[in-house]
Structure 1
Amino acid sequence: MPVVAIQTLDRRQVKACKTALEKSGHFDKLRGIEKDGNGFLIFTNKTGDYVDLKTIAITEFPELVDLKPSLEIMVVPDDKHKTVLDVRPSSNLKSAVRSVLESLIIPSLSTERLDQIIKRLPQRYYIYGQFLLLSSSSFESIPEWQSLAQDDLAFANKFYQLLVDRLKVTHIAQNAPIPDDDDNAMRKPTHLVCLYGDFGLDVSHASILAPSREHIARELWAATRQNNICQTWAPRYTMFSRGNIKEKARVLQFENVESKTVVDLYAGIGYFAFSYAKCGADLVLCWEINPWSVEGLLRGAKANKWNAQLVQHDEDWVIESKKDSAPKLVVFLEDNRYAISRIRTAEEAHDLKYNISHINMGLLPSSEQSWPIATELAVLSSEDNVALHVHSNVAHSDIDRWSRNTGLKLLHLISEFNPGSCVMPTHIEKIKSFAPGVMHICGDFLVKKM
């Protein structure tokens, strides 16, 4: 059963919220408080499904009325805490590092230097199967560590050999920000630092754009489960954001998905496409330009026991007519600007009309380039009402204005195809902090056609 949590981005409100919930008997001592991106989740002992809680207001918790401006009520899936096991507390890493360094018996490593290394270690790290992912502030950025590595060129390798054994992993890498430039439209994690283990063949321009089967077969593939959905990716070629778990859970509760068609214009490794599939969509049409993301999506679909069909850009889309062998997901390895022609051609060739009820646009920092495609797809749908889910990075102070402007732009675009239609903003979801003062949000807009 999903549980209700109070979310706040204000650290100063955490204690006050916890104290108020404790006094009223609403605080869940077992789950307690969790860090959530740049904010916090304070768990209550109230449970219920999302539908019942759609109208829930802060007045359900009268003890929090005075704190209302900085709090938000949210529903957390009951299996979220199984997923959190991939995020290990810093104490585990610190204990393993201390044990390894002490076992190496390094004469120049004084107790003071050792303590400094331990103190500077990151607060969180991630283990995905056999893959340990460290934050960008890990070993290589610690002066005391750099000194040890300079004194002994074989030190780092000896250290990592012992660390993988302590943490029961086989590969270690250090994270880095995704380059945000015009040459990285595929959102490749090209700054990832591989510290230990065989990650595969050398990365090259050719392997990025058109990987061979050998490249794919020999690459390290990581996997994890969120909301009881398996996701798979190649860490050197595709990104994985744990912070999207909240939005993935929200998608699982969307209405008007079951037995419908959903379009995901930026599918990636199946971040949101898989949630729509699990939610009951008959068909999820996915567009993605990164071949490594597509491979991860196909592997993830197989792990979740969903049929998936790959359609390359230079081949026709062959539609399976047999119900029992029809794909749950169709993945087009091409630019989403071909989505309109793909669907029009399919409808004309097979005399059908797709009942598209949701269109997802998950590109950051802005998905605006796909808005004309989404609005035309909404008109092509056999559904009278189509929900558009628009992702963007927006300054906190601009969110309301962004919502109004986006609604007006979408209305202008759809009026070209279906005059008289209206576009209604229905919800703004604040997914996670992207940078100081900037939120990754998703705006829901309902297209009502004439």
Structure 2
Amino acid sequence: MPALAFRTTDRQIVKACKTVLERSGHFDKQRGIEKDDNGFLIYTNKSVENADLETITLQEFPELGDLQTSLELILVSTDAQKSSLGSRSLSSLKHAVQSVLQPLMVPSVSTEQLVQILNKVPQRYYIYGRFLLLSSSSFESIPEWQSLAQHDASFANEFYKLLADKMNVTHIALNAPISGDNDNAMRKPTSLVCLYGDFGLNVDRESILVPSRENFMRELWAVTRQNSISQTWAPRYTMFSRGNIKEKARVLEFENVVNKTVADLYAGIGYFAFSYAQRGAVPVLCWEINPWSVEGLLRGAKANKWKAQLVQHSEDWVIEAKKDSIPNLVVFLEDNRYAISRIRAATAVDTFNFNVSHINMGLLPSSEESWSIAIELAALSSEDNVALHVHANVAQSDIDSWSRRTEFTLRQLLDEVSSSSSVALTHIEKIKSFAPGVMHICGDFLVQKR
């Protein structure tokens, strides 16, 4: 039966969370605290019958108070057994693979080959609702596994059917990195391998660019919660990065957000836009070209009980004037190069105040194509101070030079639209390791109007 645990990337939060859980009697002293690739796990002594996080909320732990914004609630299986190699427990996935493989094994496969397969079961995997996502390097890649599949054409399907039942999921897939090709501007996970379950209609160019309502209805939608915020996405068409939880938590602490406008030029499924909405921005203006990401954003907004307004590229933006009817998020299904004309048309309406205080540019490996757009939006803002959040993948040895070059470029762009304003670097946030020697960072730059 899975147990509830909290994950955080902030080492200081670990001790505070443990202390609060101990006082309330909710801390699991036996499992305690573990460190994994995505931060720290603080185990609770609560268990649940169903591995669906959508039925669980942080409201079950009111004693955590303000700490909740820095914690992610997850499920961890507790049905592990001891390994014959020592006291270390098998992961629940490894345990499930072993219990499923043994009755399916063909006589020609030895115990040694079984051990080889179990040794390649990924240590890291994720369950999103009823969807099991395996890491790209899995047991499928080794000769021992491939020999099993060769003996029986139906073996793999039967194996994954039993594994799905054991793990209490309905869909299984292998993860793969997002292609950096120029043809993959929508950041679609092109190499995702679907292993089990009905993921939806066949993928073709039309379903990617102009999906129908049937495409949306038939597709598998994954769900999770981070920092008390629900997010939804279609794994075959959009990406989700758990490692961004640290930056999402930082956004929840930003100043000058409540009742201000925020612009997110690469909104995706609402990775950072949702954190701005949770912080109190009204509205968050989102630009996104992937219709699947937009659908995920709209579904996620509904799950969070936020009002979202969708504006197609061919449509005029009808601005809500009444305060009680202003949407939390306005989603433009179009390229962000149209952001300037959208805002110029909106500011021509007396009832619209473009008081943008934060502009987010979350595209990787570089968001440089949108820097000039962000600078012009900052110049159009009625706010005296506008924070630009520039994301990028940068070699650790080049972070200082990247910071100087970016500040210089932004200053040049600003001089072209407003010679009486200034821009300066205020902070560099190292979000996560992207590759050996490469960091995903976010540079904060403040535009000040004199």
**TM-score past 0.5 threshold:** yes
Matched residue SS, 1:413: helix
Q: Please name the residue that 2:239 is paired with.
A: 239
User: Offset of 1:76 from its aligned partner?
Assistant: 7.5
CA-to-aligned-CA distance 1:423-444 (integer Å, 9 cap, x gap) = 1211111111111110000000
Return closer, same or farther for 1:79/1:254 CA change in 2, 3 Å cut-off: closer
Deviations 1:370-423 (A, max 9, x none): 000000000100000000000000000000111111111111111111113111
Tell me the distance in 2 between the aligned counterparts of 1:3 and 1:274. 18
Pairwise CA distance, 1:103? 2.3
Per the alignment, residue 359 of structure 1 pairs with 359
Distance 1:185 1:105 in 2: 44
SS of the aligned residue for 1:311 comes to: strand
Q: Displacement of 1:105 after TM fit? A: 4.4
1-structure distance, mates of 2:350, 2:174 = 49
Say which SS state the counterpart of residue 83 (structure 1) adopts.
Answer: strand
Q: What SS does the corresponding residue of 1:349 show, helix, strand or coil?
A: coil
Q: Map residues 322-401 of structure 1 onto 2, 5 A cutoff.
A: 322-401=322-401
1:116 aligns with 116
Shift of 1:321: 2.2
- TM-score normalised over the length of structure 1: 0.84
Q: Secondary structure at the match of 2:73?
A: helix
Separation (CA, whole Å) in 2 of partners of 1:87 and 1:386? 48
- Relative distance call for 1:416 and 1:76 in structure 2 (3 A) is farther
Paired residues, number: 397
- Residues 398-437 of structure 1: pairs in structure 2 closer than 5 A: 398-437=398-437
Name the CA distance, whole Å, in 1 between partners of 2:351 and 2:283.
17
Cα deviation digits, residues 52-87 of structure 1 (max 9, x gap)? xxxxxxxxxxxxxxxxxxxxxxx9856625136599
Deviates more, 1:204-213 or 1:28-37: 28-37
Q: Find 1:80's aligned residue among 65, 71, 75.
A: 71
Partners of 1:439 and 1:107 in 2: how far apart? 48
* Aligned positions of 1:167-178 closer than 5 A: 167-178=167-178
How far residue 322 of structure 1 moved from its aligned partner, in angstroms, is: 2.8
Which position in structure 2 is the counterpart of 1:34? 35
Over aligned residue pairs, what C-alpha RMSD do you find? 2.4
5+ unaligned residues in a row in structure 2: which ranges? 1-5, 13-27, 43-65, 81-89
Structure 1 residues 123 and 443, CA gap change in structure 2 (3 angstroms)? same
In structure 1, the residue matched to 2:449 is 449
- Contact 2:233–2:240 at 8 Å: present in 1 too? yes
Change (3 A) 1:42 1:322: closer
Helix, strand or coil for the counterpart of 2:121? coil
- 1:124-143 alignment runs, 5 A limit: 124-143=124-143
1:148 to partner: Cα distance:
0.2
Determine the C-alpha separation between the residues in 2 that align with 1:85 and 1:285: 36
Asked if 2 retains the 8 angstrom alpha-carbon contact of 1:308 and 1:331, the reply is yes
Counterparts of 1:382 and 1:88 in 2: how far apart (Å)?
57
Q: Distance in 2 between matches of 1:147 and 1:76?
A: 50
* CA shift for structure 1 position 224: 0.3
The secondary structure found in structure 1 opposite 2:199 is: coil
Residues 186, 118 of structure 1: alpha-carbon distance in 2 compared, 3 angstrom cutoff: same
Per the TM alignment, residue 36 of structure 1 is displaced from its structure 2 partner at its CA by 3.8
**Change in CA separation of 1:287 and 1:224 when aligned onto 2, cut-off 3 Å:** same
Question: What is the TM-score of this pair, normalised by structure 2?
Answer: 0.84
Q: Which amino acid aligns with 1:434?
A: F
Counterpart code for 1:106: V
Moved over 3 A (4+): 1-7, 28-33, 40-43, 75-79, 83-90
Describe the SS at the equivalent of 1:370.
Answer: helix
The answer as to whether partners of 1:200 and 1:220 remain within 8 angstroms in 2 is yes
Percent identical among aligned pairs is 70
Q: Superposition pairs for residues 278-357 of structure 1, below 5 Å?
A: 278-357=278-357
Quote how far apart the aligned CAs of 1:349 are: 2.8
Change (3 A) 1:102 1:2: closer
